[in-house]
Chain A
């Protein structure tokens, strides 16, 4: 079966002996082994959490909590299965929890203060990059949830279409159609935001 992943990514995702060794040690309760096991996936987990929650501070909470829950649920992970989609699924669920919690607090009038971490003043290019990522995140946040998830799974979690479709609860074909539609919508929103 032809992979829909770029070769570099496919190689990166190939289960290695080292990963299975770390997994076995983590299942026995070795925290250090678990931290090393998840290190290659931390960035993808954070990115997809940002896409769901829209804020760094919420995304970090979702990522950290998700990775702790994944550790506690290692017994459910099937040996030989791809670790990345399993982990991403847990982090996405956790990110949804964080969003629900945030909405609840908003309803109660206890809106949490914005805590976006900002690095010190950097070069102009870095500032522009930060401004643009905020625009992209703003645009993503205006998409319907299924569209936002479809884009996040492709671009931020870097999942192949088949696994992203499973995670999104749809067929691969339907996921691809959704992805095309989501890209078009995102383009339109970005054009509006760019003025």
Chain B
């Protein structure tokens, strides 16, 4: 096919798509108004100043216990050197515990998981439990062995601290991507991505970190996290 023909077909596609394009439905804006982020920040800074330093240590320690979130203008393609998501090899659920050195936690309210995936190819190991009927994935790892970071596009996603079983957890939804930094079987440091959309819950408990994927809402996620 000639270059010229390709151009023509792409331009024809543009014209055809234009004939299908809907108009923006302004009714979707409802009662919304553009956010006034800077003013809110100033207001929060003022409140913090009035509250005084006594409140600061608790707030700082609470945030330090969570996960790093980097604001980025756009997600774009995966960075060079970052591997796509990989949950690990499938094993029978009872065998998952034998594959790692930490106690594997399950979501009691969902019953027994349908499948377990283990990463015994990385230092410390990682386990993902699959609850097929509810579409929930629960991944767990030692906080000392694997680091998780989130890249978030603020205009199209959000990060929110929520409470799950009395602990602070981080709910992420929208345009975001997670990256694990871990040590592979070759002894080298590797980076691997993990999916965030439509929402994930991350939290720490007893030197372990947990990632819950597939919940319909942050409330649902927090309820499941409380059932470990």
| Interface of A toward B, CB cutoff 8 Å | 26-27, 29, 31-32, 34-35, 38-39, 42-43, 46-47, 50, 56, 60, 63-64, 66-76, 89-90, 92-94, 96-97, 100-101, 104, 107-108, 117, 129-130, 132-133, 136-137, 145-146, 149, 151, 155-156, 166-170, 183, 186-187, 190-191, 194
Contacts and interface: CB of A to CB of B under 8 A. Distances in A.
Q: Is the interface of A mostly helix, strand, loop or mixed?
A: helix
B88 to A, nearest CB: 17
B17 A75 contact: no
Contacts, number: 154
Contact of A168 (B1, B77, B135): B77
A77 B38 CA distance: 12
B18 interface: yes
A72 B10 contact: no
Contacts of B174: 93, 97
Contacts of B25: 64
| Contact-size category for B | 35 or more
Given A43-B17, A107-B135, A155-B11, A167 B74 contact: yes
A83 to B, nearest CB: 13
A136 B35 contact: no
B34 A72 contact: yes
19 contacts: A27-B34, A42-B24, A43-B17, A50-B17, A56-B20, A63-B22, A66-B156, A73-B34, A73-B155, A75-B36, A92-B74, A96-B75, A107-B135, A136-B9, A156-B14, A169-B75, A187-B3, A191-B1, A194-B1
A194 B1 CA distance: 10
B26 to A, nearest CB: 4
A89 B28 CA distance: 20
A74 B197 CA distance: 23
A64 B14 CA distance: 19
A47 B3 CA distance: 21
